[in-house]
Amino acid sequence: MSSAEPDSVAANVAQWTATNAEFTDGAAERSWNDPEVKWGVFGIPEFGALRDVNGLDVVELGCGTAFCSARLARLGARVVGVDPTPAQLATARRMQALTGIEFPLVEAPAEAVPLPDASFDLAFSDYGAPLWADPQKWIAEAARLLRPGGRLVFLTTSTLAHLCTPDLDEEPITNELVRPLFGQYRTKWPEYPGIEYHISHGEWIRILRDNGFVVDALHELRPGDDAKTHDYYFTIPVEWAHRWPGEDVWEAHLR
Ligand SMILES: C[S@@+](CC[C@H](N)C(=O)[O-])C[C@H]1O[C@@H](n2cnc3c(N)ncnc32)[C@H](O)[C@@H]1O
């Protein structure tokens, strides 16, 4: 269990500090200047999971450079971005200054967020906390931060994609299961310092319910026919994602 393991926050901040330094090609500018709300590495257009954000208090858990938050702020949400990596938040602040889209940014891991109880209507994340934070801890924090009836919406790598992904970068995702489902929790890829979290659908449901959430939907995303393979370090080829879900979006609300 995670509590017996070393803290993953420091390792993940180290990984994301390095990753931030690699993105020198205007990626933040492109993302911030694009107002369309999209999901995941294929930029799948928003399909209703983040509906009606105008006037809502919204927290993004693991906001990174905060372009997703910026898109919701454009739609009238009162957004707060939370991320533990100073370099990522520095990029977010630079983009806020460039675009004039300003909202609070809080340096903290999603496992321990220094914001008041019951202060948000929507907590969301696109590859932030759901992949990089301990699910038992960050789901409890999301429940604490939300008002009764508040919604939690998040995207992460699908369980199926994780089970089909070999350890090394040079080995592409396969059409076969290469790791067990039982016992999955923390994943340390040999070539990266960070720790990812991957759990089964049953475990997500159990943790969500244990923390007072009602599960409303699990969207198994399929990119559009025109989608292109994204040049990320954990690439899922679009041909694979057309056959199996590469990304899962969970929707839940607090009782
Ligand atoms: C892929 S980015 C997600 C942000 C944005 N949606 C994006 O696509 O760039 C992953 C972010 O998770 C953050 N992260 C790492 N550990 C975290 C933790 N314990 N809690 C919350 N966020 C964490 C990293 O600092 C990084 O900025």
Per-residue pLDDT reduced to its tens digit, 126-136: 999 999 999 99
Average pLDDT over every residue of 173-186: 96
CA dist., res. 78 & res. 187, Å (int): 34
| Per-residue pLDDT at 1 exceeds 70 | no
- Centroid of ligand 1 to alpha carbon of 110 (angstroms): 9
Judge if the beta carbon of residue 150 lies within 6 A of ligand 1.
no
User: Is the CB of residue 16 below 6 angstroms from any atom belonging to ligand 1?
Assistant: yes
The residue whose CA is least distant from atom 3 of ligand 1 is: 128
Question: What tokens does 32 get?
Answer: 């911030």
Q: Summarize the confidence of residues 163-189 as an average pLDDT.
A: 94
User: What is the residue type of 184?
Assistant: Q
State residue 232's pLDDT score: 63
For ligand 1, is residue 132 a contact (CB within 6 Å)? yes
CA 132 / ligand 1 centre spacing (Å) = 7
Q: Are strands 146-157 and 247-254 parallel, antiparallel or unpaired?
A: antiparallel
**Higher pLDDT residue, 105 or 230?**
105
Measured from the Cα of 63, ligand 1's closest atom is 4
User: Quick check: 92 and 101 in contact, CB under 8 A?
Assistant: no
Q: Is the distance from the beta carbon of residue 125 to the nearest atom of ligand 1 less than 6 Å?
A: no
**Per-residue model confidence (pLDDT) at position 234:** 62
Ligand 1 in contact with 81 (CB < 6 A)?
Answer: no
pLDDT, residue 169, reads 84
Token code pair at residue 255: 């009782």
**3-class SS of residue 156:** strand
Cβ(84) – ligand 1 distance below 6 Å: yes
Share of the chain above pLDDT 90, in %: 90
Residue ranges of alpha helices (H) inside the chain are 9-22, 27-33, 67-74, 86-99, 129-132, 135-145, 159-163, 201-210, 238-241
Rounded Cα distance between 137 and 35, Å, is 32
Examine the pLDDT at 74 and tell me if it is beyond 80: yes
Q: Measure the CA angle with vertex 204, ends 143 and 121; round to 5°.
A: 30
How far, in Å, from the CA of 124 to the mean position of ligand 1? 12
- Residue 47 pLDDT exceeds 50: yes
DSSP 2: G
- Tell me how far the alpha carbon of residue 128 lies from the centroid of ligand 1, in angstroms: 4
pLDDT of residue 233: 55
Out of 24-28, 100-104, 185-189, 239-243, least confident range: 24-28
User: Ligand 1: which of 23, 63, 82, 234 to mutate, most ligand atoms within 8 Å of CB?
Assistant: 63
User: How high is the pLDDT of residue 25?
Assistant: 81
Longest dimension (CA), the chain: 47
pLDDT of residue 2: 42
